[in-house]
Structure 1
């Protein structure tokens, strides 16, 4: 699980340690990345918003509001939960406009209340991660969580979806249709016959993509820069601060 905590340095001293202690106490496999500036955050997570599970941020930053930040991230694939953590009391109604999980006034937020809100937001985000796709062929039907899919491979319009622990299912479709359906869900087309989930990439070489299970896939020359950048940005979220 990836969490972003975005507040000015002096404003995060109280609740950032609470967040770190909470995820540790509950044994969440969580990476927390901390930013002091919203525009810097947006630049560094551009194109990998889909990988953010929980966003905690203020409502006011230089040149941009927290509400604009959430809107922009959602347009780029953010499907997690957003919590506004602020001492500005009169903008809670705008949080509803961007469908935030909560609007928390720092001055009235005890450790117990903070942990309750964050815990419920994490549970809600985990439910969203169970987004599924139904595949059918010749009377057979499988339901696969999107997060379990590692890649798609097509041969003569027969597509094989690879998922879980060495599981696969073959069905009839077009790669363009699949690519469109997966927009904003963390997949990238590495050549005309293959679409890969960035979360399952272990390494990117000049003409190959290597997955975490050791699978080696061909990488089109013109796709190298795009795939490498997406992989490095996703991998960069592993920093724990």
Structure 2
């Protein structure tokens, strides 16, 4: 599993340390790599330019904080289109309706008990795992690219050109590294230089592969038999899943 990136925002130092102990226990027991950032206020979190909202998987937010409370902070996170799950931690029921309206993943009451805490985190991580993504450097900045948005990738020298539904991106990565890390289940390699999202393939005719948008790509002779076989198996699996 990829390293989980998690943010804890609570104005009470004692509570932040307590949550840190619970989180360390949880991730250590499951041997899941994690990177945790701690903040004492919503303002401190939003002012930290190094904290990329789009790369954060889970937000643990205290609701009752001075100035910018947890609900207001969550609204700001949502307005910035951050995909991470929000878990509120609070000592009261005052904001249950607001938490529901914000589509928060969960709402944990203080004092936080480890059993309930671990169950909520486990369910949250299940949803995170279902969303497949890759983290790459683009123009020296980290970017999270969701694999469902990728149509195909191709190598150009040492660069990997990532063709998305709406845009293209470039990063430094070999085709082997891409397939080993991200492509084995969801991508079909059709040449030494090109791998295509199985979900974006419309059909294979001869040595031509057509994407859903009509783009035609050429399959090299070396990969032709495997490409046809994997495409047929994928269509069969998809058909069975829809029954």
Question: Which residue of the partner structure matches residue 225 of structure 2?
Answer: none
TM-score using structure 1 length:
0.56
> In the alignment, does 2:106 pair up with 1:90?
no
Q: Is the contact made by 2:42 and 2:73 (CA closer than 8 Å) also made in structure 1?
A: yes
Aligned-residue offset at 1:6:
0.9
Query: Match for 1:27 among 31, 41, 50?
Result: 31
- Determine which structure has greater relative contact order: mean sequence separation of CA pairs < 8 Å that are 6+ residues apart, divided by chain length: 1
- Once residues 63 and 110 of structure 1 are traced to their aligned partners in structure 2, the CA distance between those partners, rounded to angstroms, is 27
What is the CA-CA distance between 1:15 and the residue it aligns to?
Answer: 2.7
> For residue 149 of structure 2, what is the aligned residue in structure 1?
133
Q: Which runs of 4+ in 1 moved over 3 A?
A: 150-154, 159-164, 166-171
* Counterpart check, 1:43 vs 2:47: yes
Secondary structure of 2:92's match? coil
How many residues in Structure 1 have an aligned counterpart in Structure 2? 155
Cα RMSD of the aligned pairs, angstroms, is: 3.1
- List per-residue Cα deviations over 1:93-144 (Å, max 9, x = no partner): 111111110011013x421111010111122122234541242xxxxxx499
- C-alpha distance 2-47 of structure 1, shift in aligned 2 (>3 A): closer
TM-score (norm 2): 0.55
1:151–1:161 contact (8 Å) kept in structure 2 = yes
* Unmatched segments (≥5 aa) in structure 1: 136-141, 145-149, 172-241
Query: Could you tell me which of 2, 9, 15 is aligned with 1:11?
Result: 15
**Secondary structure, in 3 states, of the residue corresponding to 1:118?**
helix
Which residue number in structure 2 is paired with residue 116 of structure 1? 119
Gaps of 5+ in 2: 134-145, 180-192, 197-243
* Separation in structure 2 between the aligned mates of residue 34 and residue 160 of structure 1, nearest angstrom: 31
Give the Cα separation in 2 of the matches to 1:3 and 1:110: 19
Indicate yes or no: 2:58 matched with 1:54: yes
Larger radius of gyration: 2
| Correspondence for 1:218 | none
